[in-house]
Amino acid sequence: MRWQRLLFIGVVLAAAIIGANWRLKDIVHPKAESIRKSIRYDEVTGKINILVVGEDDTGDSHRADSIAIATLDIEGKKVKLLSLPRDTRIDIPGRGWNKLGHAYSYGGIDLLKRTLVNYLGLPIHYYVVVGYDSFPKLVDLLGGVEIEVETRMRYVDKAGGLSIDIPPGRHLMN
Protein backbone atom coordinates (compact mmCIF):
# COMPACT_ATOMS: atom_id res chain seq x y z
CA MET A 1 0.00 0.00 0.00
CA ARG A 2 2.82 2.40 0.91
CA TRP A 3 4.67 1.86 -2.37
CA GLN A 4 1.43 2.54 -4.32
CA ARG A 5 1.02 5.86 -2.52
CA LEU A 6 4.65 6.78 -3.26
CA LEU A 7 4.20 5.75 -6.89
CA PHE A 8 1.04 7.87 -7.14
CA ILE A 9 2.79 10.90 -5.58
CA GLY A 10 5.75 10.39 -7.92
CA VAL A 11 3.51 10.27 -11.00
CA VAL A 12 1.62 13.40 -9.89
CA LEU A 13 4.89 15.26 -9.21
CA ALA A 14 6.34 14.18 -12.56
CA ALA A 15 3.18 15.32 -14.36
CA ALA A 16 3.28 18.67 -12.53
CA ILE A 17 6.94 19.21 -13.41
CA ILE A 18 6.40 18.26 -17.06
CA GLY A 19 3.30 20.49 -17.26
CA ALA A 20 5.09 23.45 -15.66
CA ASN A 21 8.07 22.99 -17.96
CA TRP A 22 5.79 22.88 -21.01
CA ARG A 23 3.95 26.04 -19.89
CA LEU A 24 7.18 27.91 -19.06
CA LYS A 25 8.59 27.02 -22.48
CA ASP A 26 5.64 28.82 -24.10
CA ILE A 27 6.09 31.85 -21.84
CA VAL A 28 9.88 32.14 -22.14
CA HIS A 29 10.09 31.19 -25.84
CA PRO A 30 6.67 31.98 -27.31
CA LYS A 31 5.86 30.91 -30.84
CA ALA A 32 5.21 33.66 -33.37
CA GLU A 33 1.60 32.50 -33.73
CA SER A 34 0.86 32.92 -30.02
CA ILE A 35 2.32 36.44 -30.15
CA ARG A 36 0.12 37.33 -33.15
CA LYS A 37 -3.02 36.24 -31.31
CA SER A 38 -2.37 38.60 -28.39
CA ILE A 39 -1.36 41.86 -30.12
CA ARG A 40 -2.13 44.23 -33.00
CA TYR A 41 0.27 43.99 -35.95
CA ASP A 42 0.44 44.58 -39.70
CA GLU A 43 -1.15 41.47 -41.21
CA VAL A 44 0.59 42.01 -44.57
CA THR A 45 4.16 42.25 -43.22
CA GLY A 46 3.71 40.52 -39.85
CA LYS A 47 5.44 43.45 -38.15
CA ILE A 48 4.59 45.67 -35.20
CA ASN A 49 5.32 49.40 -35.35
CA ILE A 50 5.81 51.25 -32.08
CA LEU A 51 6.13 55.02 -31.84
CA VAL A 52 8.75 55.92 -29.23
CA VAL A 53 8.72 59.49 -27.92
CA GLY A 54 11.27 60.98 -25.56
CA GLU A 55 9.40 63.80 -23.84
CA ASP A 56 11.04 66.97 -22.54
CA ASP A 57 8.61 67.96 -19.81
CA THR A 58 9.58 71.48 -18.82
CA GLY A 59 6.82 73.04 -16.76
CA ASP A 60 3.68 73.69 -18.77
CA SER A 61 5.06 72.64 -22.15
CA HIS A 62 5.44 69.08 -23.35
CA ARG A 63 7.81 68.67 -26.26
CA ALA A 64 8.90 65.63 -28.20
CA ASP A 65 12.65 65.76 -27.69
CA SER A 66 13.28 62.53 -29.59
CA ILE A 67 11.02 60.59 -31.94
CA ALA A 68 11.56 57.09 -33.32
CA ILE A 69 9.65 54.20 -34.84
CA ALA A 70 10.62 50.74 -33.55
CA THR A 71 9.59 47.95 -35.93
CA LEU A 72 9.44 44.46 -34.43
CA ASP A 73 9.67 41.56 -36.88
CA ILE A 74 8.00 38.67 -35.07
CA GLU A 75 9.12 35.93 -37.49
CA GLY A 76 12.66 37.23 -37.97
CA LYS A 77 13.04 38.07 -34.27
CA LYS A 78 14.58 41.43 -35.17
CA VAL A 79 14.01 45.03 -34.16
CA LYS A 80 14.71 47.99 -36.43
CA LEU A 81 14.75 51.56 -35.16
CA LEU A 82 14.11 54.60 -37.34
CA SER A 83 15.02 57.86 -35.64
CA LEU A 84 13.16 60.90 -36.93
CA PRO A 85 14.72 64.32 -36.27
CA ARG A 86 12.26 66.51 -34.37
CA ASP A 87 13.07 69.46 -36.65
CA THR A 88 12.03 67.60 -39.82
CA ARG A 89 9.73 69.86 -41.84
CA ILE A 90 6.48 67.97 -42.27
CA ASP A 91 2.79 68.51 -43.09
CA ILE A 92 0.90 68.37 -39.77
CA PRO A 93 -2.84 67.67 -40.27
CA GLY A 94 -4.82 70.84 -39.55
CA ARG A 95 -1.65 72.86 -38.91
CA GLY A 96 0.20 72.92 -42.23
CA TRP A 97 3.94 72.62 -42.70
CA ASN A 98 5.97 72.77 -39.51
CA LYS A 99 8.56 70.88 -37.46
CA LEU A 100 7.69 67.26 -36.64
CA GLY A 101 8.19 67.86 -32.91
CA HIS A 102 5.49 70.54 -32.98
CA ALA A 103 2.85 67.92 -33.84
CA TYR A 104 3.28 66.54 -30.31
CA SER A 105 3.10 70.02 -28.76
CA TYR A 106 -0.04 70.91 -30.73
CA GLY A 107 -2.06 67.73 -30.31
CA GLY A 108 -0.21 65.24 -28.16
CA ILE A 109 0.42 61.65 -29.13
CA ASP A 110 -2.69 61.39 -31.34
CA LEU A 111 -1.65 64.22 -33.67
CA LEU A 112 1.95 62.99 -33.75
CA LYS A 113 0.75 59.47 -34.70
CA ARG A 114 -1.55 60.83 -37.43
CA THR A 115 1.24 63.01 -38.80
CA LEU A 116 3.67 60.08 -38.97
CA VAL A 117 1.12 57.68 -40.49
CA ASN A 118 0.48 60.25 -43.25
CA TYR A 119 4.21 60.86 -43.76
CA LEU A 120 5.56 57.31 -43.61
CA GLY A 121 2.55 55.33 -44.80
CA LEU A 122 3.11 52.87 -41.95
CA PRO A 123 0.50 51.89 -39.39
CA ILE A 124 1.47 52.66 -35.80
CA HIS A 125 0.16 49.90 -33.55
CA TYR A 126 1.45 51.09 -30.18
CA TYR A 127 3.31 53.98 -28.63
CA VAL A 128 5.45 54.67 -25.58
CA VAL A 129 6.30 58.06 -24.11
CA VAL A 130 9.41 58.21 -21.95
CA GLY A 131 10.16 61.28 -19.83
CA TYR A 132 13.23 62.20 -17.84
CA ASP A 133 11.68 60.78 -14.66
CA SER A 134 10.68 57.47 -16.22
CA PHE A 135 13.90 56.79 -18.15
CA PRO A 136 15.94 55.51 -15.16
CA LYS A 137 12.97 53.35 -14.12
CA LEU A 138 12.80 51.89 -17.63
CA VAL A 139 16.53 51.07 -17.58
CA ASP A 140 16.15 49.42 -14.16
CA LEU A 141 13.13 47.45 -15.39
CA LEU A 142 15.29 46.07 -18.20
CA GLY A 143 17.98 45.09 -15.69
CA GLY A 144 20.33 47.74 -17.04
CA VAL A 145 21.52 48.48 -20.54
CA GLU A 146 24.78 47.08 -21.86
CA ILE A 147 26.91 49.51 -23.86
CA GLU A 148 30.22 49.24 -25.68
CA VAL A 149 32.56 52.18 -25.01
CA GLU A 150 35.19 52.51 -27.74
CA THR A 151 37.21 55.35 -26.21
CA ARG A 152 37.33 56.61 -22.65
CA MET A 153 34.41 58.86 -21.73
CA ARG A 154 35.49 61.53 -19.28
CA TYR A 155 33.50 64.56 -18.19
CA VAL A 156 33.82 66.75 -15.10
CA ASP A 157 31.36 69.47 -14.12
CA LYS A 158 32.71 70.99 -10.91
CA ALA A 159 29.87 73.51 -10.62
CA GLY A 160 27.24 70.79 -10.91
CA GLY A 161 29.19 68.27 -8.82
CA LEU A 162 29.16 65.74 -11.66
CA SER A 163 32.03 63.49 -12.67
CA ILE A 164 31.87 60.78 -15.34
CA ASP A 165 34.78 58.48 -16.12
CA ILE A 166 34.03 55.33 -18.13
CA PRO A 167 36.96 53.32 -19.51
CA PRO A 168 36.79 51.52 -22.89
CA GLY A 169 35.03 48.16 -22.96
CA ARG A 170 31.62 46.65 -22.31
CA HIS A 171 29.65 48.11 -19.39
CA LEU A 172 26.26 47.48 -17.82
CA MET A 173 24.64 50.85 -17.16
CA ASN A 174 21.94 50.92 -14.48
Per DSSP bridges, beta strands 145-149 and 61-73 are: unpaired
Has residue 21 got a pLDDT over 60?
no
Rg (CA), the chain: 24
pLDDT of residue 14: 57
Kindly tell me if the per-residue pLDDT of 61 is higher than 70. no
Range 52-83 burial, b when 16+ CB lie within 10 A, else e: bbbbeeeeeebebbebebebbebeeeeeeeee
DSSP class of residue 121 equals -
> Taking residues 56-70, what's their average pLDDT?
78
The whole-number pLDDT of residue 117 equals: 94
Give the CA angle between residues 15, 17, 18 to the nearest 5°. 65
pLDDT at residue 56 greater than cutoff 70: yes
Query: Under a CB-based contact definition with an 8 Å cutoff, are residues 69 and 47 in contact?
Result: no
| Proportion of the chain above pLDDT 70, given as a percent | 71
Q: What is the pLDDT of residue 57?
A: 67
Tell me which of 115 and 173 has the higher pLDDT: 115
Q: What is the pLDDT of residue 38?
A: 58
Mean pLDDT to the nearest integer, 100-125:
93
> Using an 8 Å Cβ cutoff, are 139 and 145 in contact?
yes
Average pLDDT over residues 7-33: 56
What would the pLDDT profile of 116-159 be if each residue is shown by its tens digit? 999 999 899 888 888 777 777 777 777 777 888 899 988 888 88
Q: 138 or 96: which carries more pLDDT confidence? A: 96
Residue 80 has pLDDT above 80, yes or no: yes
Residue 34 contacts by C-beta under 8 Å, 6 or more apart in sequence? 26
Going by C-beta distance under 8 Å and a sequence separation of 6 or more, which residues neighbour residue 77?
Answer: none
> Is 103's pLDDT higher than 60?
yes
Phi/psi-derived region of residue 146, left when phi > 0, alpha when psi is between -120 and 50, beta in every other case: beta
140 neighbors 174 (Cβ within 8 angstroms): yes
Q: What CATH number does domain 34-142 carry, 3.40.50.2300, 1.10.10.410, 2.40.100.10, 3.30.420.590?
A: 3.30.420.590
Q: Which residue has the higher pLDDT, 88 or 21?
A: 88
Range 12-36 average pLDDT: 56
